[in-house]
Amino acid sequence: MLEIKNLVVQIEDKRILNGLNLTVNKGEVAAIMGPNGSGKSTLSYVIAGKEDYEVLDGEILLDGQNLLEMEADQRAAAGVFLAFQYPLEIPGVGSMTFLKAAMNAQRKARGEDELTTPEFIKQVNAAAAQLEIPKDMLKRALNVGFSGGEKKRMEILQMALLQPSFCILDETDSGLDIDALRIVSEGVNALRSPDRAFLVITHYQRLLNHIVPDTVHVMHGGRIVRSGGKELALELEANGYADYRESEAA
Amino acid sequence: MADVTLMKTPAETALVQAFENARTMLPGNAESRAQAFEQFNARGLPHRRVEEFKYTDLRALLREVAPFAGVPTAEEAKAALGGSKAFANVAALQVPFVNGHFVREAVDFANLPEGIEIVPLREALASGHEWLAKLSPVPWASDNPVYQLNTSFMADGVMIRVAGSVETPVHLRFVTAAGSAVATATRVLVVVENDASVTLLESHESGDGANHQPNDVVEMIAGDRTNVQHVRLNAEGDKALALSTLAAKIGAEANFNSINVVAGSATSRHQVYAILNGENTNLRVNGATMLKGTQHSDSTLVVEHNALHCESRELFKTVIDNEATGVFQGKIIVPHHAQKTDGRMMSAALLLEEGGSMNNKPELEIFADDVQCAHGATCGQLDEDLLFYLMARGLPKKEAESLLVQAFLGESIEFVENEDAREALVATVEGWLKARS
């Protein structure tokens, strides 16, 4: 599904990713863990197509298509979805207006007809109910005045409506209390399917109790330094990232 | 100081000639016209060394004076109004003007909505109607050269009296007929009696390609406890030089909202002169301006708080594409007796490309010591992070930009209370954005 080969990325002359290799298969939930500054968020932005980064080498293939040659909107239409660590507030843009514009833009890119309003509302209501999103939240401007938990739920709502094939969750657990973490995780788990892959970026093992990964990768110094099964997350939780820092020093 | 007004420009000479030709034909008191023209002529067209016109140099912008338009025939008027689209979705009492002349056949005088009286200005001027004494409610507007030109040349208009609560909006529909360039000067007076309320729509339309030169003045006297909602749309053709003034005198405990939306003209300048004459009044003056190409648009505003406990809010939003130029000059005046004034003025500009420019000049003139006044001005580009967020959800770049521009202008437009009028303005913004992409 997703193949990253020897990815080298810098921003303002500072190298962030240093020959990163990663493969995520269809239906797989891959977790990426790593200390602050290891390049986790950069990786998510580069996959989604943020412009600030300079890709010096390597490639990112999604089902064989080279994502690096596409604009962010084309990547979204190809199936990439990034749930932001800090979802942005957009005053003046209603949540429903935004959802409809996004869904129709992707349908258009795939050559499908626009959604009718009743069909759109039906889909939103169904997905919102599952994520325990109250209707009045959808009447407000996108993310404006939302709590941290509400913003994250809104991200998962978008994911549920857009039905992407490759989902990146960038520290989705940050700023969530226990109940919100449960709701968000259930929302993500409901979307797990044999045709969809996830890349779950997190600092803490906590999230992975709720969204149980198939594989765990440790990122450090801009590359994947170790890969394993879900038990690797527990080991990291117990020992911290000190081992990797020392290995770098040595 | 050196005398810098010795040489008249060809346009100034043409205005003198035009006034000489027209003065005997124009209705009403020739003396007051002559006086206004003399005041104008003594200084000539304002230029960049005149502070109020520093960013809109009319001497440079007005090169050639178009001939003043005559009265259209009934067929011409009908054809022109047939092509008019502004606020077409709003059920309103139509008060149409073609080439600056009131089309009285289009108004059913016998069945006006209750509380509305309309007097054609041309006849009123000729007969010396008693309401004429109410013209020029904001005395210091008479010192403005654009206003002076309107007073000199005003050929037609209407005077409207509103009593009670009028549900049906009144739509002042100004249309310039297709054809060669013309100049127009209209004057509208709206007197809103105590406790009355009215929604007043105003639209200005003309075809592309002709250098039309409208100079329109709308004056309002809003009494105590009145509610006035004024929505103005400039949808002039792409070569028009449109000058306009709103002069409003507002009483106590009133609610007065005015917005000017600019979606047309090569050059435009809208002047708002408002005086708050009674306590506990709320004034809101907004602007939403969309500019592209080499368009130039000026919003000039002077609000005088002349009573205790009044609140004014001014919010001007300008979107500038290509090499267009925006101007905002706003001044809030608070004399020593207007304690407890609360005034906030904001101008925000969004520059979509590198070549555009915005001139912001907010001013506060405060003599009272117990007031809250603030002003702010910003110029910026679209937020790259917001664009990325929208694109990451699948919106192509132009569409993402459009959504953000709509949101930006929407903050100003959302104060329009009449839902149909607000929708029409939103559609105007959408149309502008569609033409861009």
Q: Closest CB to B394: pick one of A52, A91, A106.
A: A106
Q: Give the least confident one: A33-37, A164-168, B82-86, B190-194.
A: A33-37
Above 70 in pLDDT, residue A111?
A: yes
Question: Of B335, B278, B271, which is closest to residue B297 (Cα–Cα)?
Answer: B271
The residues with which A200 forms a beta bridge, in sequence order, are A31, A169
Closest CA to B277 of B316, B301, B247: B247
| Helix, strand, or coil (residue B163) | coil
- For A143-162, what is each residue's pLDDT tens digit? 999 998 899 999 999 999 99
Q: Which chain B residues contact residue A92 at CB under 8 A?
A: 406-408, 410-411
Token code pair at residue B426: 């939103």
Is the pLDDT assigned to residue A250 strictly greater than 50? no
Check residue A204 and give its pLDDT: 84
H or E element, residue B283: strand B282-291
Q: Considering chain A, what is the average pLDDT of its residues?
A: 92
**ipTM of the complex model:** 0.95
Residues of chain A found within 8 Å of residue B385, distances taken between Cβ atoms: 88
Helix (H) or strand (E) holding A62: strand A54-62
Distance from CA of B21 to the nearest CA of A (A): 52
DSSP label at residue B277 = -
In this predicted model, which residue has the larger pLDDT, A234 or B102? B102
CB B135 within 8 A of CB B219: yes
Mutation choice for A interface testing from B393, B408, B409, B414 by most A CBs within 10 A: B393
Q: b/e per residue, B112-138, with b = 16+ CB within 10 A? A: beebbebbbbbebbeeebeebebbbbb
- A102–B395 C-beta distance less than 8 A: yes
Tell whether A1 is within 8 A of chain B (Cβ): no
Going by C-alpha positions, the residue among B230, B229, B299 that lies closest to residue B262 is: B299
Q: What is the pLDDT of residue B436?
A: 86
Taking contacts as CB-CB distances below 8 angstroms, the residues of chain B near A109 are 394
Query: What distances in angstroms separate CA B350 from CA B172, B260, B359, one per listed residue?
Result: 30, 17, 12
Nearest by CB to residue A90, choosing from B384, B386, B394, is B386
User: What token pair was written down for A247?
Assistant: 């290995």
| Spatial distance between the Cα atoms of B97 and B220, rounded to a whole number of angstroms | 18
Return the structure tokens found at B196. Answer: 């009355």
Q: Residues of B with CB below 8 A from A103's CB? A: 394
pTM, rounded to two decimals: 0.91
Q: Tell me the pLDDT tens digit for each residue of A68-90.
A: 999 999 999 999 999 999 999 99
Closest by Cβ to A71, choosing from B386, B391, B403: B391
Q: What is the pLDDT of residue A247?
A: 58
Residue A244 pLDDT > 80: no
Strand partners, B174: B97, B204
Give the span between the Cα atoms of B212 and B46, in whole angstroms.
19
Residue type, B423: E
Pairs of CB atoms within 8 A across A/B: 77
CA A216 → CA A40, A211, A219, B129, B130, distances in Å?
13, 12, 10, 88, 87
Q: Which of residues 67-96 of A touch B (CB under 8 A)?
A: 71-73, 75-77, 80-82, 84, 87-88, 90-93
Q: How far does B204 lie from chain A, in Å, by closest CA?
A: 27
CA distances from B35 to B29, B110, B152, B259, B260 (A): 10, 37, 8, 32, 30
Q: How far is CA A193 from CA A24, A106, A164, in A?
A: 14, 20, 11
| Residue A74 structure tokens | 């084309």
Task: Indicate the angle between helix axes B145-153 and B10-22, nearest 10 degrees.
Answer: 30
To 10 degrees, the CA torsion angle through B122, B70, B241, B9?
-100
| Percent share of chain A, pLDDT over 70 | 98
* Spatial CA neighbour of B331 closest among B292, B304, B295: B304
Which chain B positions have a beta carbon within 8 Å of A141's beta carbon? 407
Contact assessment for residue A41 and residue A211, using Cβ atoms and an 8 Å cutoff: no
Please list the pLDDT of chain B residue by residue as tens digits (437 residues).
Answer: 455 556 899 999 999 999 999 988 899 989 999 999 999 999 999 999 999 999 999 999 999 999 999 999 999 999 999 999 999 999 999 999 999 999 999 999 999 999 999 999 999 999 999 999 999 999 999 999 999 999 999 999 999 999 999 999 999 999 999 988 999 999 999 999 999 999 999 999 999 999 999 999 999 999 999 999 999 999 999 999 999 999 999 999 999 999 999 999 999 999 999 999 999 999 999 999 999 999 999 999 999 999 999 999 999 999 999 999 999 999 999 999 999 999 999 999 999 999 999 999 999 999 999 999 999 999 999 999 999 999 999 999 999 999 999 999 999 999 999 999 999 999 999 999 999 87
Which chain B residues are within 8 Å of A72, Cβ to Cβ? 388, 391-392
Distance CA A228, CA A219 (A): 12
CA angle B26, B29, B34 (to 5 degrees): 80
Residue B389 host element (H or E): helix B384-391
Range B51-55, long-range pairs (CB < 8 A, 24+ positions): B52/B144, B52/B300, B52/B329, B54/B361, B55/B298, B55/B325, B55/B327, B55/B329, B55/B359, B55/B361
Q: Write down all domains in chain A, each with its CATH number in brackets.
A: 2-90+164-249 (3.40.50.300)
**Of B256, B303, B285, B282, which is closest to residue B162 (Cα–Cα)?**
B256
Is residue A246 pLDDT above 80, yes or no?
no
Element (H, E) at A75: helix A72-78
Above 70 in pLDDT, residue A249? Answer: no
Among A247, A238, A245, A229, CA closest to A31: A229
Facing residue for B394 by CB, picked from A90, A93, A109: A109
Sort strands B342-351 and B372-380 into parallel, antiparallel or unpaired: parallel
Whether residues A76 and B400 touch (CB distance < 8 A) is answered with no
3-class DSSP state of B68: strand
Q: Which of B394, B404, B407 has the CB atom closest to A77's CB atom?
A: B394
Please choose, from the candidates A214, A178, A180, A183, the residue with its C-alpha nearest in 3D space to the C-alpha of residue A196: A214
Mean pLDDT of A226-249: 80
